[in-house]
Amino acid sequence: MSEDTVRRGARTVIPVLLITLLSLLAPGCRIVEGGATTDVPPPVTATPTAEPAEPSGRRPGVVNIKTEQDLSGTRAAGTGLVLDPSGLVLTNNHVIRGATKIMGTDTDNRRTYTAQVVGYDRAGDIAVIRLKGASRLKAAAFASASGVNVGDTVSAVGNAGGKGGTPRVVTGKVTALEQSVTARDDSNGTTERLTGLIETNAPIKPGDSGGPLLNTAGKVIGINTAASAGLSVDGDEEKKNHRGYAIPTDRALDIARQIQRGEASTTVHIGPTALLGVKVRSNANSPGALVAEVVPGTPADTARVPVGAAIVTFDGRAVDSPTALTTLMMAHHPGDIVQMQWTTAQGAHVSATIRLTEGPPQ
């Protein structure tokens, strides 16, 4: 299912409800703004379970994640799931996006580890990290989401509010399947479309991102990734319409396995992320990615790329938008040497050879 978008000011948003990707709220969190909940796409027709089942209280292989983002001066938190005893952990990409330091606490053994990024899929909002020095961890138990029906009882588990400690467990029902939401990155206005999601009324909160949506057998059927703001019913703040969204396990695990195999693609990046050192936005007057900010001490700063310049080629390829530049950057790694061209605000054409350094995941 999909929903139409509308343009509000300079940003494209959907006219449904507030959707917040559930990393701990901090500057730069991605949201979708909107109005009435009646415009939400209807559920896919599915047969509810004949008899309600009891919710599961299991917390399989849950990891509390905390990140630091030195470039923006913020901190965030989320949740992850142990994929194997050696410390591979599945989480949302937006949980680790921009992180210069990642820490993961296994909630079974209570140990905290420094984590490194193995790879991530920006479009699918999936990432795999490794807890350094971890061994003999309890792995999460996964089940296919193909058998999930509207009306099924589910439990959501996670690091709600980024408080750490024992993960919080909340319960609810599957309210729809095959749902779509558009998430906006509040730091740069870019949007990301997530489709094919499981919708639930379990009251998941910021910090629950990357945590499991469990069936009544305690197996993971989805990865919690977004939720509504919780609109009040008849003005009663105690009664709220919660809408949470989870990526089905089948899709999440397919991406995770691709990352484990080291197979990069146009959306999947493997290993450390290359850094250029510019913040860019769309250029309304001419093609290119308009430089809004240059980070001191980065390759762009060394190359004297000025604010107001429009980057028009990168590594011999045309750049017609910020998205195009990001895509080209995703194909590179720290240490790569590239040729870049830009035009200044005064119309001069400049080119430079730039050696990329290591930066945070995107």
Query: Is there a single domain that holds both residue 308 and residue 187?
Result: no
Does 350 have pLDDT greater than 50? yes
Taking the C-alpha atoms of residue 361 and residue 268, their distance in angstroms, rounded to an integer, is 11
Statement: residue 54 has pLDDT above 50: yes
Domain shared by 162 and 296, yes or no? no
Residue that wins the pLDDT comparison between 186 and 223: 223
Contacts 24+ apart (CB under 8 A), 4-7: 5/182
For 329, the domain range is 273-359
Based on the domain organization, do 54 and 120 belong to the same domain? Answer: yes
- Name the band, by pLDDT with cuts 50, 70 and 90, for residue 355: very high
Residues 152 and 246 both lie in one domain: yes
Q: Is the pLDDT of residue 144 over 50?
A: yes
Q: Which of 235, 270, 305 corresponds to the end of one domain?
A: 270
- The CA distance from 121 to 268, in Å, is 4
Report the catalytic residues: 94, 125, 209
Q: What is the pLDDT of residue 283?
A: 77
Residue 179 sits in the same domain as residue 77: yes
What is the distance between the alpha carbons of residues 176 and 224, in angstroms, rounded to a whole number? 14
Q: How high is the pLDDT of residue 183? A: 62
pLDDT band, very low/low/confident/very high, at 250 (cuts 50, 70, 90): very high
Which CATH number does the domain housing residue 290 bear?
2.30.42.10
Q: Residue 313: exposed, middle, or buried by beta-carbon count in 10 A (0-12, 13-18, 19+)?
A: middle
Burial class (CB in 10 A: 0-12, 13-18, 19+), 280: buried
The conformation of residue 142, written as its DSSP 8-state character, comes to: B
User: Do 311 and 209 belong to one domain?
Assistant: no
Tell me the three state secondary structure of residue 178.
strand
Is residue 330 pLDDT above 50, yes or no? yes
User: Are 148 and 108 in a shared domain?
Assistant: yes
Residues 41 and 99 in one domain: yes
What integer pLDDT is reported at residue 8 of this predicted model? 22
* Mean pLDDT of the region 219-247: 71
Instruction: Return the number of other C-beta atoms located less than 10 Å from residue 235's C-beta.
Output: 6
For residue 269, the surrounding DSSP H or E stretch is strand 268-270
Interval 208-230 mean pLDDT = 89
| Length of the chain, in residues | 362
Q: How far apart are CA 188 and CA 273, in angstroms?
A: 19
Q: pLDDT grade, residue 191 (50/70/90)?
A: low
Classify residue 285 by its DSSP letter.
S
**Could you give the percent of the chain with pLDDT greater than 90?**
62
**CATH number of the domain where residue 80 is located:** 2.40.10.120
Q: Are residues 30 and 119 in the same domain?
A: yes
Amino acid at 218: G
Looking at 270, 290, 324, the residue that finishes a domain is 270
Give the model's pLDDT for residue 216: 93
Indicate whether 157 and 32 sit together in one domain: yes
Tell me: the pLDDT tens digits for 258-272?
999 999 998 899 999
Domain shared by 39 and 164, yes or no: yes
pLDDT at 359 over 70: yes
| Phi–psi pair at 238, nearest 5 degrees | -80, -20
The pLDDT of residue 229 is 54
